[in-house]
Amino acid sequence: MPIHDLVFRGRRLTSDNALVMAIVNRTPDSFYDNGVTFEEERAQAAIGRALEDGAAVIDIGGVPASPGPEVTVKEEIARVVPTVEWAREHFPDVVISVDTYRAEVADAVCRAGADLINDNWAAYEPEILDVAAEHGAGYVCAHVDGLDPRTDPVKPVYDDVVASVVADTTALAERALERGVPREGIMIDPCIDFSKNTHQSLTVLRNVDKLVATGWPVLMALSNKGVVGETLDVGMDDRVTGTLAATALAAAHGAAMFRAHQVRETRHVAEMVASIVGTRPPKNAVRWL
């Protein structure tokens, strides 16, 4: 299992520990939590809980990935910038990520203290790479197969979905590097369920090792997604076990970070896997020693 030293605007994380990116949605219509952290005070409380549960990164988002009512640039900035400012003031050492595909929003949140741009839409606005480079921020390179932001695919077809993920994410990583984004802050994300049906997402999940073999740190964002629901035929409130099973497999294959709703459970899975494969010593091994 490779060990990556990740650096986001001077804040260093080492992936031999369990690196969990906690999801904090500043939206009223997110697919999983239905706006539970849309109010600022609730978002702040969620950040505190996530850090108590061991999150290494806080990921704040102001626009849902799914189709829905338009969110203007102005509204997105109004949703996320105050939360970033609060988090930076109260937790100066934490890595703050913002889930956005807009260059203007990325610039605003970096000025407010964000360290990482989690762009789910593969540089749909190419200038977002320049923003990350200007601020020395990290950047997540996503695979969406050319899908426009906040749209659903129509029967996605691939000759080889894993080859497409590897080719597109690594090409974007090289573009980001050429534009000046620091190498140690670049990650790749196969974007489970984005422009992929359940069979395709499962194929990607069983081939995480091929993404890891590229040498770029891999972010897995699979928490409670449709692939889990359809695979197990369960509703939104019964996807945690399936998510954690997929997390364990991806962790064993070398994924560096996991974006999650259930931070503590995800951290425990990743830490247990790391100890089994030998990259993390047991925290308190005392029996019969």
Count CA within 13 A, CB hemisphere, residue 131.
25
Query: Domain of 51: which CATH number?
Result: 3.20.20.20
Q: Determine, yes or no, domain membership for 288.
A: no
Q: Determine, yes or no, domain membership for 154.
A: yes
Verdict on whether the full-model pTM lies above 0.75 = yes
Q: Determine, yes or no, domain membership for 289.
A: no
Q: What is the pLDDT of residue 3?
A: 78
Full domain range(s) for residue 143: 5-277
> Largest alpha-carbon pair distance within the chain?
61
Domain count, the chain: 1
CA distance 114 to 196: 30
Q: Determine, yes or no, domain membership for 284.
A: no
92: three-class secondary structure by DSSP: coil
Q: What tens digit of pLDDT does each residue of 243-254 get?
A: 999 999 999 999
Q: Determine, yes or no, domain membership for 285.
A: no
Q: Determine, yes or no, domain membership for 287.
A: no
Q: Where does the pLDDT of residue 14 fall: very low under 50, low under 70, confident under 90, or very high at 90 and above?
A: confident
The crossing angle, in degrees rounded to 10, of helices 263-277 and 240-252 is: 30
Please give the residue that has the higher pLDDT: either 52 or 5. 52
**287 class by beta-carbon count within 10 Å (0-12 exposed, 13-18 middle, 19+ buried):** exposed
Count CA within 13 A, CB hemisphere, residue 82.
13
Please give the residue that has the higher pLDDT: either 258 or 27. 258
Question: What DSSP state is assigned to residue 147?
Answer: P
Q: What tens digit of pLDDT does each residue of 70-123 get?
A: 999 999 999 999 999 999 999 999 999 999 999 999 999 999 999 999 999 999
Percent of the chain with pLDDT over 70: 98
Q: What is the pLDDT of residue 190?
A: 98
Q: Determine, yes or no, domain membership for 121.
A: yes
Answer yes or no: is pLDDT of 164 > 90.
yes
Amino acid at 176: A
Q: What is the pLDDT of residue 1?
A: 63
Answer yes or no: is pLDDT of 210 > 80.
yes
H or E stretch including 230? helix 226-232
Q: What is the pLDDT of residue 284?
A: 94
